[in-house]
Amino acid sequence: MNRRAIWAGVLMVSLALGLSSFKGDDRNFQISKNLDVFNSIFKELDLFYVDTINVEKMIQNGINGMLSLTDPYTEYYPEEEVSSLKELITGKYGGIGAAIRYYESKDRIAIVEPIEGMPAAEAGVKAGDIILAIGGKEMVRGDQKPQDFSSRVSDALRGEPGTSFVLKVQRPLKNDSTVLEFKITRKNIRTNPVPYYGIVRDSVGYLSLTGFTDNCAKDVKKAFIELKQRGATSMIIDLRDNGGGSLQEAVDIVNFFVPKGTEIVTTKGKIRQAMGSFKTQYEPIDTEIPLAVLVNGNSASASEILSGSLQDLDRAVVVGARTYGKGLVQTTRPLPYNGTLKVTTSKYYIPSGRCIQAIDYAKKNADGSVARTPDSLTNVFHTAAGREVRDGGGIRPDVEVKGEKFPNILFYLMNEDLIFDYATQYCLTHEAPASVDSFALTDSDYADFKALVKSRNFTYDRQSEKMLKTLKEVAEFEGYMEGASEEFKALEQKLNHNLDRDLDHFAKPICKELEQEVIARYFYQRGAVMQLLKDDEVLDKAIEVLEDKQQYKEILSVPVVASADAAK
């Protein structure tokens, strides 16, 4: 190599290093510059703006605007909200053990669901009770927003374990109401991540996992071992509507079924601390028992790690609908004044090497919206046995079962508390059933529900009417209305709003929701899960696959045709 070439190489390296340094300095300058501008604008507004500025609200809006440019999972928690973040992570808090929400018709907060075995339930508080006062302090909304009112009541109910207070509620009766008082002592509350487990068919074990809170793997292990002792020779893990939680807990649960030292997840981010590898650390419980995992569109994050890794390792058959597609990992960072930032620091990759993130938040549209990655742009990966799986768009089930469609009328019935109110009245006038299996609403019960709906002058938006109106407007605009006016009139008559017809037509899904709400009043969340399993296509399909050993084996094997092509 001649001297000119050497000097040219040195010059290129020097320029590259200098450019890199310049880019770094330029970025630092841009950060410093924009922070100064933001700070100066706020000071000028505070000093000169005609009205007094709400400092906290303005800065909070600024923070929210900044975070909106990232993803929905990167969030700021000021000091007063940090406890809710800790509860989300651990599933623990000090309180009475009851879910609450704003009850619009009463402009009050209602008890929605007391937790079995917790102080509220033990004291006799029931779902449907309206909170009037806590510790002698009246709970009225005033000029607060409903969500702020709910937060205030929630804060009042919580406190140090061992402290007591008097809860004053109004219990609605059929034609009246009564005021009741309960002395309740707070305790450490831990939501049960495994509300129900049991034998669902012959020797098929089943467990429902609702969240990946701290130590949930221990709950799963306990349930799994007990089910095996009761004769379970195959197992179903239900992750439907499980939004996720701790990545490590998901890895620990996978560990029950795969050998020690198996890599389950790798994480990749911008900084070294965000890079990691998660392997199973313990000897498994059972590497042979046939497994099925149930998922749906609300199964996300840690649920996708559990189902996706078992799929990639050919260790379980995944049954249901495609999962949400959240391949991002969050960590918490401390902030001044005891605040916390939950920030996305990495993406995770399951054993096949794929990331199942469905949305690339770095590629937003001009209006700020984002779209799911289309299937045509996803890539093929392979399981341990060589089966094809794809990245992007969540976990695709090995056996897809389309769930029942949620009718529009049911959404409005629930939104206007009619399902909730009927369940409240039903439980005040009916004795508890002997068991979940023996419970079912009768035709007479459903007739009572229809009467309640009509008495409230219930109305709802019908999508067919909206679409017809839009179609008429387009037809008029394009000049087709004159020749199609009779057809439109006939269609309008067929789509005429008929509440009786709709309540009868959608009786099955409405009744199913009513039964679940009612049974939860008697048997809590455990009963609600059991009631749901009575008529469950996804569960039935999973049982079918597990009971048919040949079908189970074929699903987890590479198709013969694919193997032959590979041999060529």
Question: Per residue in 283-312, pLDDT tens?
Answer: 999 999 999 999 999 999 999 999 999 999
- Of 154, 234, 246, 301, the catalytic one is 301
What is this structure's pTM?
Answer: 0.86
Q: How confident is the model at residue 421 (pLDDT cuts 50, 70, 90)?
A: very high
pLDDT at 549 over 50: yes
pLDDT of res. 10? 42
Mean pLDDT for the stretch of residues 474-492: 75
Burial state string for 552-566 with b = 16 or more CB within 10 A and e = fewer than 16:
beebbebeeeeeeee
Catalytic hit among 312, 391, 417, 536: 312
Residue 166 predicted with pLDDT over 90: yes
pLDDT at 497 over 70: no
Tokens representing residue 136 in the block: 């002698």
pLDDT at 464: 67
pLDDT of residue 154: 94
Q: Any idea which fold 196-400 has?
A: 2-enoyl-CoA Hydratase; Chain A, domain 1 (3.90.226)
- Region 332-340: what's the mean pLDDT? 94
Roughly what angle, to the nearest 10 degrees, separates helices 418-429 and 507-533?
60
The reply to whether 301 belongs to the active site is yes
Residue 219 falls in the annotated catalytic set: no
Give the domain 92-190 fold: Pdz3 Domain (2.30.42)
Quickly state the pLDDT bin for 564 (edges 50, 70, 90): very low
Closest CA to 522 of 398, 406, 437: 437
Position with higher pLDDT, 364 vs 531: 531
Banded model confidence at residue 498, pLDDT cuts 50, 70, 90: confident
Domains of the chain, residue spans: 26-69, 92-190, 196-400, 408-461+497-535, 463-494
Please return the burial class of 432, using the count of CB atoms within 10 Å of its CB with bins 0-12, 13-18 and 19+.
exposed
Closest by CA to 533, choosing from 197, 275, 184, is 197
Question: What is the phi-psi region of residue 314: left when phi exceeds 0, alpha when psi lies from -120 to 50, beta otherwise?
Answer: left
Instruction: Give the residue-averaged pLDDT of 230-247.
Output: 97
User: Fold identical between 92-190 and 196-400?
Assistant: no
**pLDDT bracket for residue 363 (50, 70, 90):** confident
Q: Kindly report each contact of residues 259-267 with a partner whose C-beta sits within 8 Å and lies 24 or more positions away, as own/partner.
A: 259/284, 259/287, 260/284, 262/313, 262/351, 263/351, 264/305, 264/309, 264/350, 264/351, 265/305, 265/309, 265/348, 265/349, 265/350, 266/348, 266/349, 267/329, 267/346, 267/347, 267/348, 267/349
Q: E strands of 48-91, at which residues?
A: 75-77
**Model confidence over 5-23: pLDDT tens digits?**
444 444 444 444 454 455 5
Is the predicted pLDDT of residue 372 greater than 90, yes or no? no
Which pLDDT band, with edges at 50, 70 and 90, does 406 fall under?
Answer: confident
Predicted pLDDT at 544 = 97
Q: Which helix (H) or strand (E) holds 532?
A: helix 507-533
- State residue 341's pLDDT score: 95
The residue that leads in pLDDT, 137 or 478, is 137
pLDDT value, residue 360: 85
Average of per-residue pLDDT values in the chain:
90
Q: Mean per-residue pLDDT for 537-545? A: 97
Q: pLDDT band at 370, cuts 50/70/90?
A: confident
CA distance 104 to 417: 9
Entry field: residues in the chain: 568
Tell me the percentage of the chain whose pLDDT exceeds 70.
91
C-alpha–C-alpha distance, residues 284 and 327, integer Å:
26
203 is catalytic: no
Catalytic residue among 126, 326, 342, 541: 326
